[in-house]
Chain A
Amino acid sequence: MSCQEMVDLLLDFVGGEITPEQRAMIEQHLCGCPPCVRHVEEYSLTIRVTRLLPKNDPLPPAFEQRLWAALAAESERGA
């Protein structure tokens, strides 16, 4: 397996969506290729840290006020 073939399989590798044969080939490649080991580490870390981003950060205060006013007006129109 070449370095490029290994990289092409990375998404499925980290997602656990490869066959046992593919996994064995990747692991064999990684045993003799420190740069690809580093590549896998960086790729996995990228996913890991991105998943830590907060999804519910508070709204900017000025926008929060404008938004609430707009929704209250919309709600009254519909009432």
Chain B
Amino acid sequence: MDLERFNYDENDKSHRFIRKIGISVISLVVFLLIWWNLSLLLNNPAVPTPGETWDAMLYLFDKGDAVSGMTMWGHMSISLQRFVAGLLLALAVAVPMGLLLGYSDTINEFSSPTLEILRPIAPIAWAPIFLFTVGYVWGPILVVFVGIFFPMLTNTIFGVKKIEPSWVDASKTLGANKMQVFTKVMLPASVPYVMNGLRIGMGVGWMCIVASELYASFGGGVGYFISIQAQLGYWPNVFVGIVIIAILGLLTTGVSDYAYRTIVKRMGME
């Protein structure tokens, strides 16, 4: 057998890809084996084996969740809808606000005390208040909004403040008015920072949606699914919910990572 043929070549794209996939698969196999051993060692029904979780997952996707009458697709769809609504709301509020606060020192100084009081509060702490005040539709969405809003706001402000003064001076020299400086220089230059805020915020947003759904009793969602399955002591189903959150979180942060890298690359800011 010609072993030379299998020599790894760092410069070969397909070799790098195969290596990456191989390492990921081995890493997951080790993770599953550790999980399996841990479950058997603890011998606690609240920590099911990967096999029990897999069986439960197949059942839930095939037959659905008998308690809520919803399929897992239904729960995932509800959580995603709430997540996206909170994300869009955060984008719509945090980006213009961040640009304004980054642009105007006076407005920034005026709003800083209030924002600094609100910023350290864990978004999840708002969950019961939002659910009770604005209801079960907007409550979880607002919790996600708070989770994404602050990372996005602070990154946008930071992005505007990091703009090279020479860019602003050059545009002014070329005859740009204040509005043009804002829209043609500051706005595009801050996009990578906004995307970075989005990337961080999305991770926080997933924690928020699941936590707020633990309280919500209307409409379902992955968080609520976990909550009711825990009440029944149906632990493999609880783990299915956890696995689904992990997958959805991985997918959404993966998408935002990709978008961030693409934008940064296109804008020549690598």
Tell me whether A and B are bound partners. no
